[in-house]
Chain A
Amino acid sequence: MYKYASPKNFYALAGRLIPWLGAVTLLLFIAGLYLGLYVAPPDYQQGDSYRIMFIHVPSAWMSMFVYMMMAGGGLVGLVWNIKLADMLATASAPIGASLTLSALVTGSLWGRPTWGTYWVWDARLTSELILFFLYMGFIALQAAIDDPRRSARAGAVLALVGVVNIPIIHFSVVWWNTLHQPASIGSLGKIVSPSIYPSMLHPLLIMSVAFFLFYFTVLLIRMRGEILARERHTGWVAEIVRATPEIRGTHP
């Protein structure tokens, strides 16, 4: 296991994992979309608009999960000075930011037919918007610092301070009166006896696993790029560069 903590071995392992992870993710997306858009019946109150849930809820869950991975990577990098953890944090940020945007936009498009408004400044929506700004702040901060170690440290501190927002997002629907509905599936007990029908629950769970694996697939691709950039002075990267044929489309 420890063997893979070296950037060189991780690079090779990730390269072998990516096609398999990507294939499983794709199959899950196809199954989830088929069940969610075609098989599941319309909701008795919301009609077909509820189908936005199958992308909105996984996006929102992942927006928080990826943030915790980013902050966790930052913390490990900060404390134990492990390069791969720093790279995990850096590579997670754009993925998390885009999934947060997806949660906000799909939520807004779901809110219009169900609540009658695209946006409302309530606790859940505002804290999710703040999450997006935290991601953007992290990306901008890291991009502004040239030295990779100082850049990683500054990003980690920002990410860790921002962790306080995660429980606020999660509990916002409980702590404050909001338009946003409380979680339908929040605990293991609710998975066993959920408050939604299996025909709607199954596509939701499949899509969630698909989003989860999607994150790891893209994360590995991004981390390979980060590894090449940060290990560029090493012999093994020089070897890879030498073995790379001319890349199409990158020359001006």
Chain B
Amino acid sequence: MSWRTFFAMGGYAAYVWSAYGFATVVLLWNVVSAVRKRRAVLAMLRELALAGQTPKETGRATLLSE
């Protein structure tokens, strides 16, 4: 099978590749947002620590406002 026939998907290229493209975006978003969320928490706690403050035990809006 040539690359051209592979990408043509028997005439359904627009549907097949849009679907796979969308799913890829969803999966990548999941990884990136999960990693960034944890890093954001760490960065914020680090800033608090550098400012010499102890984080409060409750309330998350201040810490997790995204």
Contact = CB atoms under 8 A, between A and B. Distances in A.
B52 interface: no
Pick the 7 closest A-B CB pairs, nearest first. A225-B38, A48-B10, A221-B34, A250-B43, A49-B12, A232-B55, A48-B9
B19 A229 contact: no
A110 B15 contact: yes
Interface stretch (A2-10, A194-202, A239-247): A239-247
B55 A233 contact: yes
29 contacts: A48-B11, A49-B16, A52-B16, A55-B19, A59-B26, A94-B30, A95-B30, A98-B26, A99-B26, A102-B22, A146-B60, A148-B58, A214-B27, A218-B30, A218-B31, A221-B31, A221-B35, A221-B38, A222-B37, A225-B34, A228-B38, A228-B41, A232-B45, A233-B54, A233-B55, A233-B56, A233-B57, A246-B46, A251-B43
B63 A229 contact: yes
A105 interface: yes
A109 interface: yes
